């Protein structure tokens, strides 16, 4: 259920507990800001030392207020916070912001204080932001409840924008606000979440996504606590077409260490974060300027497109440079079709370029009307999603009327990079053309933005989050649980998967050499024998696997040797028997794994398996569910994809069957839901195209039951 | 031999042919600049239309000059250039700059003009820059010979710096000059090379490296024509401890296309460029701002170090963010030793961080002297090469005295990043502390700079560029040449390599099944048989390789089958026989190749071989010579290196033997020198550590002889 955060973020009246007339003090700054920016609601300073502050009546305590305020801002010491909240609650104040540090971030005593705070908030239903937070700024109503000098020193905006900023760090909050304002980002709310004792990042996000004045949310995140709410909220933001931009730290081990130490946040797996944010269609920012630039781009909301750009410059060198950098970022620069090139060539001299990058040469300014025509021709081209124009300032100035004209006739994005001193920025922006002044920042921001636009077209679709259990799976889980086990043996794992439609290798279980011989005869040669035990996960290491068995005789002796080896190496293991399978001849092998991430829940990993995949970290990951189409995307994402696709005359593998099998694994994992800890098919063998795929080995672990 | 470019770059007198009083014209701008900046040498405007221009005597033609000028600036049309140069030469003018476009970049007629220009310059010995160039700026003598408005509009520097800028593009030249000046880069010369008809990039570089006023050279390059001179010059720059910074475009296919089209420059292999520049210790810039930032950093010349940094901030979030970004760039952030942490903890509260990144917290400003002590402790730590300080402007202002004090006591680099509005930039810079105002640019520049510093310690050492031929190699080359062949067969290739000390597999050549049987008996089993023919390069494809031969009998029939297959599939091939080898059991296999790059000459490529190495592009490259130590660096550079080094319980391979073999291949290639087109050992089999390496197959191609 979504709580209404309006009293917190858009209060009609504000009590400041610990108010001060000195704007240099924590209790003075919000008051000064409210007055400076002309907040129209009621302000109640509270401080027993004064009777009035800055011309406002000052109350000795919260009880003396003429009525309940929407919001109490607590500018008091940590140890006084909970008592004060109780008095606010008694007065009927529904929301509070706690500035004080000295809670969970500060040792055991602080942790105890924070527990107390949390318990009170949970019991009372009071909406409490912080502690250890810098406060908020509402640029719509001028409800500034922050003790940040940035709101005093940065000139106030002429009018609020539509970008909400939510950060887990006060320093980042102030810095991004300042960088963003310089780049022309219009904010409506600025929120620093602090320790998030009672109100977590995703809950703010949820409220902001539904807020009408918010068209875009930018966030700084060290860790998410409520992954499910986050995923739900991001899906809702997509529905409402509101871009989300996140700066998430912790990619590196040192960054993660620092983030964890900073807010004691749940780390989660950084690779899963990366995959999940991409899958969910969240724009990922790399640093403060990049974040501000993405907010800036997101303001040009009517533009749609993909990642195929035309580069237009007046210099071959700058065209080459931009091509290199955009290519680094995976942006495509398609060669223009011959007819488009011919149209361009009519006005561009020989020493210019028409194939893309386009070098219109400085000459173009002398030809009345040609540039507008050239832009129109390129924008009409179906192979091009956006134009990036790169020119020295004085040329940009001259070409602006034509750029504006072209922008008025297209839904494709036109962006400009100015090498210096163009005077036309405002004119271009009003025409829907973002302007950058530095190549590096322009390429980083435009690349992220265009990839995001491209991804929006296909990556994510709402899919059922649950799947029905099969009778066979229910049986197996019951059996395993009844035996107090958590690991399924290979036969159980494959039977479970098969019940969801995962094709598994034809197999049989022998308990002695004679059985092995006759079963091998039935299965056919060559075949494989493997030890079967819920206690033995790494079969090869103990001599528990034999390949290339060519006769019944060989099968019998292999069975005997395997059982003997297992008894010798792992005397305590429970031995179910020996598993026999036809030895598959494969075009390729995949690893398909599902693990439980502490933030995002069940997550699938797909890769080629083997030691090189591990070294090159060449895997694709998704939050479940994964359907066959998404499985196909995952496989194509692998750098090793060509190996599945007939690289250098190899036999193409049955990718269709692989994708169906992967989707079935996803279905099985979702059906098991909270019961499942880990599920892995390794290898999933792919035969040649059209001949199917088969799970050769499977590993499954249930979640341990609480005792 | 090095030509003296002084008359061109530092002329004592300048004649401007086609001079104009209008600074908006090509012949007017240099004159205006010379006068604006107070050039002290003589200026001779030449134009038959005027008797004086801007107070200077104007001469009707070059013949009328009172004496020869050092330099003629030709502001005249392309078709008049050569005639004018001849008259200048006749007058005794040793150098000229040609502005005009319309040469090689402009079709066949232009190419003919450029050929004529080249021929005249070569025959006369005249030093001619351009054509199609923007001219030069000499900030030492104020000899501005450029028609670029940037030198008019950017305020003149108080005094010249020591950074020379040489670019193959006029637009880049102007843009980098302007960006660099903003960042505080002091230039002495700015040179645009244009079409480089008679004077190539590396020749300018060579002169600049020897020039006393130049401490650093920054270049923009589309293509190098004289790789040998470039390599020699870079080596000389290292000797003189003068950093080189290059922005080289063409990394991407589109960038390469644009660069090639732009200056018709020799493309070369982009991966070789990348490897070579790194090997030679050239700093590589990614864009204009990055280049300016590297020049800025290079000005702080007394600092030495490596790539292990300590990050000092007053915010856990900013520390986490910087850690992520520096880690992305491969910069190391070592965890500080326990005693250093303990010293820091004495002054940093619990909620701060001491392990690195270090969060000193805002609290630190209240503790007189602690910050200086903390900085000293970290700088004394042997695990740290540099400190990066990140703080909001007001805090940087407050901490500056302590930063300056610390900088005075260390040779390690301290760099600062200001989140905004610090007023102390100049003070810090004077203390040797570079200051950045944006995280993204700071991280990009510092990372490149620290990697370069780290690499300077080891990467490159001058080594002999030639090696002596062996008698055996001379024999083989003579035999191959006498038979009008270019390809060596496998036995010849291995014999050649063996003569340089490359260990090759024990082998024998059989011409019939009976010989094969007896030779196999002598070599031992299992053995391998391979077709031997100078005309068959891909043996496997035609059924010319048989593995796992276990007996003399098998060897005889394999020999028969191989010869039959070769005769059937390639009836025209000359068959030398069948090669027998002991089948090696290897811990790992390498590919060791030498190819001839059009720019850098003989280049070695080392990788693991196989299809995945190809897909993941996991190879290391170096210009020859490669000695054993460099070979070791190459192997460690591979992402697959752990596979050679005992990853996950695998047997470590004999890396020492591999490195010796690689060095011997390099020696062989160098000895062959211009005779060699291509040399490849694939695979070089590595046995377990201590057991050696062996070249199992070898391919060698000589350069075709001109008919």
Q: Give residue-wise pLDDT tens across range B590-645.
A: 999 999 998 999 999 999 987 888 888 899 999 999 999 999 999 999 999 999 99
What value does the mean pLDDT take over residues B176-205? 94
Nearest to B30 by CA among B16, B42, B41, B40: B16
**Are the C-beta atoms of B397 and B424 separated by less than 8 Å?**
yes
The band of B420, judged by pLDDT with boundaries at 50, 70 and 90, is low
Nearest to A290 by CA among A440, A508, A491: A440
Cβ neighbours of residue B286 closer than 8 Å, sequence gap 6 or more? A325, A440, B247, B444
A483 lies in some domain: no
Tokens of B230: 């470039």
User: Could you say which residues from 647 to 676 on chain A have a Cβ atom under 8 Å away from some Cβ of chain B?
Assistant: 647-648
- What is the C-alpha to C-alpha distance for residues A128 and A94, in angstroms, rounded to an integer? 9
Residues of A whose CB is below 8 A from B220:
317
Which of A105, A251, A419 lies closest to B351 in CB terms? A105
**Are the C-beta atoms of A284 and A448 separated by less than 8 Å?**
yes
pLDDT score recorded for residue A50:
94
**Are the C-beta atoms of A416 and A389 separated by less than 8 Å?**
yes
pLDDT score recorded for residue B268:
60
What value does the mean pLDDT take over residues B320-328? 94
Tell whether A14 and A88 lie within a shared domain. yes
Minimal C-alpha gap between A436 and chain B (Å) = 13
**Are the C-beta atoms of B252 and B410 separated by less than 8 Å?**
no
Cβ neighbours of residue A188 closer than 8 Å, sequence gap 6 or more? A138, A139, A140, A160, A161, A162, A163, A164, A213, A214
Residues of B whose CB is below 8 A from A358:
none
Minimal C-alpha gap between A690 and chain B (Å) = 24
B176 lies in some domain: yes
User: For A270, which residue in chain B has the nearest alpha carbon?
Assistant: B324
DSSP state of A466: -
- What is the C-alpha to C-alpha distance for residues A142 and A34, in angstroms, rounded to an integer? 7
CATH at B26: 3.40.50.720
Nearest to A319 by CA among A205, A252, A417: A417
Tokens of A582: 């036809």
CATH at A653: 3.30.470.20
User: Could you say which residues from 109 to 148 on chain A have a Cβ atom under 8 Å away from some Cβ of chain B?
Assistant: none
Q: Is the CB of B264 inside 8 Å of chain A's CB atoms?
A: no
**Are the C-beta atoms of A324 and B252 separated by less than 8 Å?**
yes
What value does the mean pLDDT take over residues B566-585? 88
Cβ neighbours of residue B477 closer than 8 Å, sequence gap 6 or more? B672, B675, B702
pLDDT score recorded for residue B362:
80
Report CB contact under 8 Å: B439, A287: yes
- What is the C-alpha to C-alpha distance for residues B58 and B51, in angstroms, rounded to an integer? 5
For chain A, what's the residue count? 707
Residues of B whose CB is below 8 A from A259:
316-317, 320
- What is the C-alpha to C-alpha distance for residues B325 and B329, in angstroms, rounded to an integer? 7
Which of B288, B323, B324 lies closest to A439 in CB terms? B288
CATH at A203: 3.40.50.261
Write down which residue in A542, A557, A583 finishes a domain: A583
B544 lies in some domain: yes
Cβ neighbours of residue B25 closer than 8 Å, sequence gap 6 or more? B75
Over 90: is that where the pLDDT of B50 sits? yes
B644 lies in some domain: yes
- What is the C-alpha to C-alpha distance for residues A299 and A285, in angstroms, rounded to an integer? 16
Identify whether B42 is preceded by a cis peptide bond (ω within 30 of 0). Answer: no
Report CB contact under 8 Å: B105, A351: yes
Nearest to B659 by CA among B641, B677, B674: B641
Which of B317, B326, B438 lies closest to A249 in CB terms? B317
Q: Is the CB of A174 inside 8 Å of chain B's CB atoms?
A: yes
Q: How many domains does chain A have?
A: 5
Tokens of A511: 């308990």
User: For B618, which residue in chain A has the nearest alpha carbon?
Assistant: A616
Torsion of CA A396, B191, B99, B150, to 10 degrees: 30
Tell whether B122 and B190 lie within a shared domain. no
- What is the C-alpha to C-alpha distance for residues B185 and B139, in angstroms, rounded to an integer? 13
The band of B548, judged by pLDDT with boundaries at 50, 70 and 90, is confident
User: Could you say which residues from 686 to 705 on chain A have a Cβ atom under 8 Å away from some Cβ of chain B?
Assistant: none
The parent domain of residue A8 ranges over 1-135
- What is the C-alpha to C-alpha distance for residues B131 and B111, in angstroms, rounded to an integer? 11
Which of A106, A286, A639 lies closest to B615 in CB terms? A639
Over 60: is that where the pLDDT of B257 sits? yes
**Are the C-beta atoms of B229 and B138 separated by less than 8 Å?**
no
Handedness of CA B388, B390, B395, B397 (dihedral sign): positive
Tell whether B87 and B170 lie within a shared domain. no
Mean pLDDT, chain B, rounded, equals: 91
Residues of B whose CB is below 8 A from A333:
252, 254
3-state helix, strand, coil in chain B (%, to 5): 40, 20, 35
User: Could you say which residues from 328 to 347 on chain A have a Cβ atom under 8 Å away from some Cβ of chain B?
Assistant: 328, 333
B593 lies in some domain: yes
Q: Would you call A332 exposed, middle or buried from its count of C-beta atoms within 10 A (0-12, 13-18, 19+)?
A: middle
**Are the C-beta atoms of A559 and A578 separated by less than 8 Å?**
yes
Minimal C-alpha gap between B510 and chain A (Å) = 32
The band of B264, judged by pLDDT with boundaries at 50, 70 and 90, is very low
Q: How many CB pairs under 8 A join A and B?
A: 232
Residues of B whose CB is below 8 A from A615:
639-640, 642-643, 647
User: For A390, which residue in chain B has the nearest alpha carbon?
Assistant: B171
Minimal C-alpha gap between A167 and chain B (Å) = 10
Tell whether A557 and A599 lie within a shared domain. no
- What is the C-alpha to C-alpha distance for residues A75 and A84, in angstroms, rounded to an integer? 11
Nearest to B72 by CA among B140, B123, B114, B121: B121
Tell whether B201 and B285 lie within a shared domain. yes
B125 lies in some domain: yes
The band of B70, judged by pLDDT with boundaries at 50, 70 and 90, is very high
Q: Is the CB of B644 inside 8 Å of chain A's CB atoms?
A: no
Cβ neighbours of residue A141 closer than 8 Å, sequence gap 6 or more? A10, A39, A40, A41
Tell whether B194 and B236 lie within a shared domain. yes
Q: Is B313 helix (H, G, I), strand (E, B) or coil?
A: strand
Q: Which of B169, B221, B320, B538 to mutate to test the interface with A (most CBs of A within 10 A)?
A: B320
Minimal C-alpha gap between B513 and chain A (Å) = 31
Minimal C-alpha gap between B206 and chain A (Å) = 23
Beta bridge partners of B488: B700
Cα B27 to its chain centre, rounded Å, is 37
User: Could you say which residues from 376 to 415 on chain A have a Cβ atom under 8 Å away from some Cβ of chain B?
Assistant: 392
Which of B106, B250, B392 lies closest to A351 in CB terms? B106
Over 60: is that where the pLDDT of B262 sits? no
- What is the C-alpha to C-alpha distance for residues B284 and B277, in angstroms, rounded to an integer? 7
Residue A421 sits at the vertex; the CA angle it makes with A420 and A423, to the nearest 5 degrees, is 140
Residues of A whose CB is below 8 A from B640:
612, 615-616
Residues of B whose CB is below 8 A from A289:
438-440
What value does the mean pLDDT take over residues B423-445? 91
Over 90: is that where the pLDDT of B331 sits? yes
Other beta carbons less than 10 A from residue B39's beta carbon: 21
pLDDT in tens, B237-249: 988 999 999 999 9
Q: Which of A111, A255, A292 to mutate to test the interface with B (most CBs of B within 10 A)?
A: A255
Number of H helices, E strands in chain B: 25, 30
B149 lies in some domain: no
Report CB contact under 8 Å: B320, A222: yes
User: Could you say which residues from 75 to 104 on chain B have a Cβ atom under 8 Å away from some Cβ of chain A?
Assistant: 101
Report CB contact under 8 Å: A172, B220: no
Q: Is the CB of A288 inside 8 Å of chain B's CB atoms?
A: yes
Write down which residue in B253, B278, B299 finishes a domain: B299
Q: Is the CB of B489 inside 8 Å of chain A's CB atoms?
A: no
Tokens of B23: 């600074």
pLDDT in tens, B112-130: 999 999 999 999 999 999 8
Q: How distant, in Å, are the alpha carbons of A678, B29, B287, B296 from that of B445? A: 43, 34, 11, 9
- What is the C-alpha to C-alpha distance for residues B565 and B562, in angstroms, rounded to an integer? 5
Query: Roughly what angle, to the nearest 10 degrees, separates helices A628-637 and A655-672?
Result: 120
- What is the C-alpha to C-alpha distance for residues B296 and B163, in angstroms, rounded to an integer? 9
Tell whether B196 and B250 lie within a shared domain. yes
Minimal C-alpha gap between A249 and chain B (Å) = 6
**Are the C-beta atoms of A128 and A117 separated by less than 8 Å?**
yes
User: For A641, which residue in chain B has the nearest alpha carbon?
Assistant: B615
Q: Is the CB of B636 inside 8 Å of chain A's CB atoms?
A: no
Tell whether B241 and B112 lie within a shared domain. no
- The CA R_g of chain A, rounded to the nearest whole Å, is 31
Report CB contact under 8 Å: B438, A323: no
B388 lies in some domain: yes
**Are the C-beta atoms of A629 and A655 separated by less than 8 Å?**
no
Handedness of CA B618, B623, B626, B629 (dihedral sign): negative
pLDDT cut 70: percent of chain B above it: 96
The band of B265, judged by pLDDT with boundaries at 50, 70 and 90, is very low
Pairwise pLDDT comparison (B705 vs A336), residue with the higher score = A336
Tell whether A313 and A424 lie within a shared domain. yes
Report CB contact under 8 Å: B255, A324: yes
Tell whether A697 and A615 lie within a shared domain. yes
**Are the C-beta atoms of A565 and A558 separated by less than 8 Å?**
no
pLDDT score recorded for residue A265:
47
pLDDT score recorded for residue B463:
65
- What is the C-alpha to C-alpha distance for residues A263 and A223, in angstroms, rounded to an integer? 8
Q: What is the ipTM of this complex?
A: 0.89
pLDDT score recorded for residue B459:
53
Nearest to A634 by CA among A596, A676, A666: A666
DSSP letters of A448-459? HHHHHHHHHTTS
pLDDT score recorded for residue B104:
87
Tokens of A633: 């995307």
pLDDT score recorded for residue B613:
81
Other beta carbons less than 10 A from residue A235's beta carbon: 15
Query: Roughly what angle, to the nearest 10 degrees, separates helices B439-456 and B288-298?
Result: 60
Residues of B whose CB is below 8 A from A286:
325, 440
Residue B422 sits at the vertex; the CA angle it makes with B420 and B426, to the nearest 5 degrees, is 130
Torsion of CA B645, B650, B651, B656, to 10 degrees: -10
User: For B333, which residue in chain A has the nearest alpha carbon?
Assistant: A254
pTM of the model: 0.90
Report CB contact under 8 Å: B251, A350: no
Write down which residue in B583, B612, B628 finishes a domain: B583
Report CB contact under 8 Å: A350, B640: no
Identify whether A357 is preceded by a cis peptide bond (ω within 30 of 0). Answer: yes
For chain A (length 707 residues), average pLDDT per consecutive 10?
Answer: 92 96 92 94 96 94 95 96 97 96 86 95 95 94 92 86 94 89 93 94 97 96 91 92 93 78 58 91 94 94 82 90 95 96 91 91 80 93 95 86 92 88 84 92 95 76 76 93 90 94 89 92 89 84 84 91 90 90 85 93 91 86 93 94 87 95 96 94 92 92 83
Q: Is the CB of A565 inside 8 Å of chain B's CB atoms?
A: no
**Are the C-beta atoms of A323 and A335 separated by less than 8 Å?**
no
- What is the C-alpha to C-alpha distance for residues B260 and A650, in angstroms, rounded to an integer? 35
**Are the C-beta atoms of A704 and A497 separated by less than 8 Å?**
no
pLDDT in tens, B644-660: 998 877 889 999 999 99
Residues of A whose CB is below 8 A from B152:
none
Tell whether A211 and A227 lie within a shared domain. yes
What value does the mean pLDDT take over residues B186-210? 95
Tell whether A440 and A328 lie within a shared domain. yes
pLDDT in tens, B661-683: 999 999 999 999 999 999 999 89
């Amino acid at each position: 259920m979504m709580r209404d955060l309006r009293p917190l973020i858009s209060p009609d009246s504000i009590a400041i507990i610990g108010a001060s007339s000195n704007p240099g003090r924590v209790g003075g700054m919000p008051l000064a800001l409210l007055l400076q920016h002309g907040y129209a609601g009621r302000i109640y300073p509270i401080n027993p030392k004064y009777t009035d502050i800055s011309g406002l009546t000052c109350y000795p305590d919260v009880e003396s207020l003429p009525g309940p305020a929407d919001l109490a801002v607590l500018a008091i010491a940590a140890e006084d916070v909970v008592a004060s909240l109780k008095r606010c609650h008694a007065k009927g104040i529904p929301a509070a912001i706690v500035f004080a540090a000295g809670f969970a971030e500060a040792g055991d005593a602080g942790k105890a204080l924070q527990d107390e705070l949390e318990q009170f908030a949970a019991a009372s239903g009071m909406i409490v932001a912080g502690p250890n937070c810098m406060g908020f700024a509402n640029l719509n109503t001028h409800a500034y409840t922050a003790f940040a000098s940035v709101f005093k020193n940065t000139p106030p905006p002429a009018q609020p924008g539509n970008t909400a900023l939510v950060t887990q760090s006060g320093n980042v909050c102030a810095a991004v606000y300042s960088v963003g304002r310089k780049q022309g980002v219009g904010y409506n709310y600025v929120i620093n979440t602090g320790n998030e004792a009672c109100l977590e990042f995703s809950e703010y996000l949820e409220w902001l996504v539904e807020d009408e004045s918010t068209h875009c949310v930018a966030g700084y995140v060290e860790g998410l606590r409520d992954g499910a709410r986050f995923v739900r909220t991001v899906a809702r933001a997509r529905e409402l077409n509101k871009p989300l931009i996140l700066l998430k730290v912790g990619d590196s081990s040192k960054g993660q260490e620092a983030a964890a130490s900073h807010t004691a946040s749940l780390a989660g797996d950084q690779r899963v974060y990366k995959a999940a944010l991409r899958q969910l269609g969240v724009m990922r920012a790399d640093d403060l300027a990049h974040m501000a630039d993405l907010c800036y781009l997101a303001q040009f909301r009517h533009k749609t497109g993909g990642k195929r750009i035309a580069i237009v410059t007046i210099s071959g060198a700058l065209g080459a440079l931009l091509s290199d950098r955009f290519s680094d970022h995976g942006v495509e620069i398609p060669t223009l079709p011959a007819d488009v090139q011919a149209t361009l060539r009519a006005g561009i001299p020989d020493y210019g370029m028409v194939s893309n990058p386009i070098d219109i040469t400085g000459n173009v300014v002398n030809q009345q009307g040609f540039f507008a025509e050239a832009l129109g021709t390129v924008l009409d081209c179906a192979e091009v999603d956006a134009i990036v124009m790169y020119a020295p300032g004085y040329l940009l100035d001259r070409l602006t009327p034509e750029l504006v004209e072209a922008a008025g006739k297209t839904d494709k994005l036109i962006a400009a990079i100015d090498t210096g001193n163009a005077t036309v920025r405002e004119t271009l922006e009003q025409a829907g053309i973002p302007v950058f002044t530095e190549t590096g920042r322009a390429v980083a921001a435009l690349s992220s933005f265009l990839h995001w636009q491209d991804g929006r077209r296909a990556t994510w679709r709402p899919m059922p989050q649950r799947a029905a259990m099969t009778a066979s799976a229910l049986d197996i889980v019951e059996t395993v649980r009844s035996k107090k086990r958590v690991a399924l043996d290979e036969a159980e794992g494959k039977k479970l998967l098969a019940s969801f439609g995962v094709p598994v290798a034809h197999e049989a279980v022998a308990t002695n050499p004679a059985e092995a011989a006759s079963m091998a005869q039935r299965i056919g040669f060559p075949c494989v024998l493997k030890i079967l035990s819920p206690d033995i996960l790494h079969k090869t290491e103990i001599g528990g696997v034999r390949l290339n068995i060519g006769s019944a005789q060989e099968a019998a002796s292999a069975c005997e040797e395997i059982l003997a080896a297992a008894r010798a190496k792992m005397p305590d293991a429970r031995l179910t028997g020996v598993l026999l399978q036809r030895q598959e001849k494969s075009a390729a092998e995949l690893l398909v794994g599902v693990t439980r991430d502490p933030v995002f829940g069940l997550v699938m990993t797909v890769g080629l398996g083997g030691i090189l995949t591990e070294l090159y970290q060449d895997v694709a990951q998704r939050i479940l569910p994964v359907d066959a189409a998404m499985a196909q995307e995952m496989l194509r994402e692998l750098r090793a994809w060509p190996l599945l696709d007939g690289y250098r005359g190899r036999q193409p593998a049955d990718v269709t069957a692989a994708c169906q099998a992967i989707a079935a694994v996803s279905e099985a994992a979702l059906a098991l839901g909270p019961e499942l800890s880990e599920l892995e098919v390794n290898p999933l063998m792919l035969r040649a195209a059209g001949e199917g795929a088969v799970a050769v080995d499977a590993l499954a672990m249930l979640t341990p039951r609480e005792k």
